Chain A
Amino acid sequence: MQPTLRFRPLRPAVAADAASTLDLLITISPPPLPEEAIRRARPPLNLALVIDRSGSMGGRKLSYARKAARFLAGELTARDRLAIVAFDDEVTLVMPSTPVRDPQPFLAAIDTIHSGGSTALFDGWRAGATQVAEHLDPLALNRVLLLSDGQANQGLTDQQEIAASVAGLTARGISTSAFGLGNGFDEDLMGAMATAGDGSLAFIESPAQLADLYASELQGLASTAGKRVSIGLRAKQGAELVDVLNDLDATEFGNFRLPNLRTGQELNVGVRIQLPAWKPNQEILSVRLAWDAPGGEERQKLIQTLTLPVMAAADLAGLDSDPVVNEQLAMLRANRERRRAIEQLDRGDIEAADSSLQAASALMSAMPSSPFTSRELRLLQEKRDLLRQDRNLSRKRLSRESLRSKSIVWEQDEDK
């Protein structure tokens, strides 16, 4: 089963008699799988759970982390492997990678985790990764789950270097998800690790959310339809790709990295293309999607090209724009404003950050009202209010929301 790739132009034509700008949403829909089938056919999981037990995790956070770890062990089956690593300034292999035939030994091991010193985050990750690597199974989903509430302050701490190490492991078949807990973790590092790790990202403020998060992670792993997904965009015949609104990370070949394909989760890539006066039936853009199917050996590819009808520029301006495309593009632009606001916050310029968020709100308010736009507006307003009250929390949430453009970001169901 292949994913489908849809071109959704903001306006369904380009100009024949003048230069024009084409705003386009490329929607990737993973192949549908009934829930039943997912459960039955899910590949085995080869996981390492890496838990920060530095001093700051002490008390409630660590007790929830243990509880959530017990939950995770209870959800896995004899086909799955789980290793548990805890780290402060030292790394402890709490449980070597073992098939989960009986959760009991895991539960006993989890109870031995107590809080300690500083945060050797990279070493902890590497120990977990090594456990997964020792049992690397091309047919399984091999992943490290990293839970931390702090900044890496021991061992390797450079964000780019850590992310590069994580990316190198991704290329060798082991992905990494990064979960930040509380208000002291390094959101930039966790974001970079999850993106480079081809895993998911979660920023959670209450440790009580951990069990839900792990449940969602397992569900997500079970519904993985494509890993190491990349998208290549080639504008043709003098058309020029001027912007990719998601600000995706580049891969080696001038392609872009996308998060995992998960059944039921569409990925949207927003692009802007500048065109000279266009001839009919001329290809505008060629898109090449590539991914690894779980358990598959060959890299999968899907190539699709875009052609659009041409018309006079005057008529083009009169065409209605697609409201859904409009909303999605506006959200991608608003996420970019969030990134700008974070940079301004880091320079200490709260006024400028506030204006960026205001600009983001303006983008969303320009859309016809819908549940989607109302939610986005509410999120933005909340961050603006927080800017002055709790700059740190505001920054964390802005970072999480902006990363929706290029990662799988866990969001708690909002039915509370």
Chain B
Amino acid sequence: MVMSDPSSSAAGEPASSESYGLEELLAAAGRWLGEEITSRTVRLYATQGLIDRPGKEGRHAVYGRRHLLQLLLIRSLARRGLSLSAIAPLVVLPDDELERQLAGDSDDPARKGSNEALDYLQGLKSKAKATARSAVIGAAAAAPPGGLAQAGLEAARSLLPLLGSPFSALPSPSTTQAADEPPDSPSRRSLARSGGTRLAASRWHRFSLAPGVELHLSDSASIPPAGPRRQAWAQRLLERLEQQLEVPE
């Protein structure tokens, strides 16, 4: 998909001085949006006052950069489910603001991927669905492909990015998009879902360390950075573990 910044003046993209006929406007908008825009759509928006009146050159309507920006913004917002009356107040904004709206609207995977709050909210959206799925996925995780040793290995790998930073500062594993996750992280998957009915505020992550042995980490657990502090931390955990194991029957 072609995704270029409409404010840049790269080849084929609108510069502020540029003007187009209707066909060119449709083509430029279609390129940027990745969907076909028809002249009827443009006329509809124009009659509703969402797009400024085009200029005239002889008998032909002439459109400029602002028209394109308006069209792009209307389509992007409409695709997100906004009604035209909700969009109307926005298209009167000055050009630079239209651009900013468009920039904010474009799906930049890097930005969204690092936005934990957004992931979290999207997770809330289909929490009910996730709960319904948990039984199935839990069962799948119980017998990971590649055997138990493999499960341990995978767990070590998925823990890696968590080390050295507070857990809560990291993107949390999605609670909803189990099907989209890479198939090689069974341990991580199993547990994001295991808490489907639990309070979202105290989400726990489980990592299989060995057959029948799991580590549970809360969202809020902070793991010291690599070095002596982490060693001391791990040492303390080991001691606690040994104490627990020595508790008499």
Which residues of A come within 8 Å of B, CB atoms? 92-99, 101-102, 105-106, 108-109, 112, 126, 129-130, 132-136, 142, 160-161, 163-165, 167-169, 171-174, 196, 252-253
- Contact check: which of A105, A132, A136, A173 meets B92 at CB < 8 Å? A105
- Bitwise interface map of B from 195 to 222 toward A, beta carbon under 8 Å scored 1, else 0: 0000111110000000000000011100
* Complex contact A134–B118 (CB within 8 A): yes
* Complex contact A173–B201 (CB within 8 A): no
- Contact check: which of B90, B92, B94, B201 meets A96 at CB < 8 Å? B90
- Contact check: which of A129, A165, A173, A253 meets B200 at CB < 8 Å? A165
* Complex contact A164–B90 (CB within 8 A): no
* Complex contact B82–A171 (CB within 8 A): no
Assess whether B235 is interfacial by the CB under 8 Å rule: no
* Complex contact B168–A171 (CB within 8 A): yes
* Complex contact A112–B86 (CB within 8 A): yes
* Complex contact B116–A172 (CB within 8 A): yes
The verdict on A171 contacting B201 (CB below 8 Å), with A112-B85, A112-B89 known, is yes
* Complex contact A134–B104 (CB within 8 A): yes
The 22 sampled A-B contact pairs (Cβ below 8 Å) are: A95-B89, A96-B77, A98-B97, A102-B93, A108-B92, A109-B90, A112-B85, A112-B88, A126-B125, A133-B115, A133-B118, A133-B121, A134-B115, A160-B199, A165-B200, A171-B168, A171-B220, A172-B116, A172-B120, A252-B202, A252-B218, A253-B220
Measured between alpha carbons, how far is A97 from B82 in the docked complex, in Å? 13
- Report the minimum CB–CB distance from B167 to chain A (whole Å): 10
* Complex contact B118–A169 (CB within 8 A): no
* Complex contact A165–B124 (CB within 8 A): yes
The verdict on A172 contacting B201 (CB below 8 Å), with A96-B90, A112-B89, A252-B218 known, is no
Assess whether B240 is interfacial by the CB under 8 Å rule: no
The verdict on A105 contacting B104 (CB below 8 Å), with A165-B200, A171-B219 known, is no
User: What 11 new A-B contacts, CB under 8 Å, besides A95-B89, A167-B199?
Assistant: A92-B83, A97-B104, A99-B97, A109-B89, A133-B117, A133-B121, A163-B201, A164-B199, A168-B200, A168-B203, A169-B117
Measured between alpha carbons, how far is A109 from B104 in the docked complex, in Å? 19
* Complex contact B220–A252 (CB within 8 A): yes
* Complex contact A196–B201 (CB within 8 A): yes
Measured between alpha carbons, how far is A126 from B97 in the docked complex, in Å? 25
* Complex contact A126–B121 (CB within 8 A): yes
* Complex contact B86–A93 (CB within 8 A): yes
Assess whether B174 is interfacial by the CB under 8 Å rule: no
- Among B85, B104, B116, B117, max chain A CB count under 10 A is at B117
The verdict on A96 contacting B101 (CB below 8 Å), with A109-B86, A172-B168 known, is yes
Which 9 residue pairs spanning A and B have beta carbons closest together?
A164-B199, A167-B201, A133-B117, A109-B89, A172-B117, A133-B118, A108-B89, A164-B201, A168-B200
In the complex, which residue of chain A has the Cβ closest to the Cβ of B105?
Answer: A96
Assess whether B129 is interfacial by the CB under 8 Å rule: no
Measured between beta carbons, the chain B residues less than 8 angstroms from A167 are: 199-201
- Report the minimum CB–CB distance from B243 to chain A (whole Å): 19
Measured between alpha carbons, how far is A99 from B94 in the docked complex, in Å? 12
Assess whether B230 is interfacial by the CB under 8 Å rule: no
- Report the minimum CB–CB distance from A86 to chain B (whole Å): 9
- Contact check: which of A95, A129, A130, A171 meets B90 at CB < 8 Å? A95
Measured between beta carbons, the chain B residues less than 8 angstroms from A165 are: 124, 200-201
Measured between beta carbons, the chain A residues less than 8 angstroms from B85 are: 112
- Contact check: which of B97, B115, B199 meets A101 at CB < 8 Å? B97
Assess whether B100 is interfacial by the CB under 8 Å rule: yes
Measured between beta carbons, the chain B residues less than 8 angstroms from A92 are: 83, 86
In the complex, which residue of chain A has the Cβ closest to the Cβ of B219?
Answer: A171
- Bitwise interface map of B from 124 to 147 toward A, beta carbon under 8 Å scored 1, else 0: 110000000000000000000000
Measured between beta carbons, the chain B residues less than 8 angstroms from A133 are: 115, 117-118, 120-121
- Report the minimum CB–CB distance from B90 to chain A (whole Å): 6
- Among A96, A130, A164, A196, max chain B CB count under 10 A is at A96
Measured between alpha carbons, how far is A101 from B101 in the docked complex, in Å? 13
Measured between alpha carbons, how far is A176 from B182 in the docked complex, in Å? 34
Measured between alpha carbons, how far is A173 from B201 in the docked complex, in Å? 13
Measured between beta carbons, the chain A residues less than 8 angstroms from B86 are: 92-95, 109, 112
Measured between beta carbons, the chain B residues less than 8 angstroms from A172 are: 116-117, 120, 168
Measured between alpha carbons, how far is A173 from B116 in the docked complex, in Å? 9
Measured between beta carbons, the chain B residues less than 8 angstroms from A126 are: 121, 124-125
Measured between beta carbons, the chain B residues less than 8 angstroms from A136 are: 115, 117-118
Measured between alpha carbons, how far is A252 from B202 in the docked complex, in Å? 8
- Bitwise interface map of B from 70 to 106 toward A, beta carbon under 8 Å scored 1, else 0: 0000000100111101101110111001001100110
Measured between alpha carbons, how far is A97 from B80 in the docked complex, in Å? 14
* Complex contact A168–B89 (CB within 8 A): no
- Report the minimum CB–CB distance from A108 to chain B (whole Å): 4
Measured between alpha carbons, how far is A142 from B94 in the docked complex, in Å? 25
The verdict on A161 contacting B199 (CB below 8 Å), with A96-B90, A98-B101, A99-B100 known, is yes
* Complex contact B97–A173 (CB within 8 A): no
Measured between alpha carbons, how far is A99 from B201 in the docked complex, in Å? 30
- Report the minimum CB–CB distance from B127 to chain A (whole Å): 8
Measured between beta carbons, the chain B residues less than 8 angstroms from A134 are: 104, 115, 118
- Contact check: which of A105, A129, A196 meets B89 at CB < 8 Å? A105
Measured between alpha carbons, how far is A171 from B170 in the docked complex, in Å? 12
Question: 8 Å CB contacts to A: which residues of B6-62?
Answer: none
Measured between alpha carbons, how far is A225 from B90 in the docked complex, in Å? 34
Measured between alpha carbons, how far is A37 from B99 in the docked complex, in Å? 33
Measured between alpha carbons, how far is A168 from B105 in the docked complex, in Å? 25
Measured between beta carbons, the chain B residues less than 8 angstroms from A106 are: 89
In the complex, which residue of chain A has the Cβ closest to the Cβ of B124?
Answer: A165
- Report the minimum CB–CB distance from A349 to chain B (whole Å): 31
* Complex contact A164–B200 (CB within 8 A): yes
- Report the minimum CB–CB distance from B215 to chain A (whole Å): 16
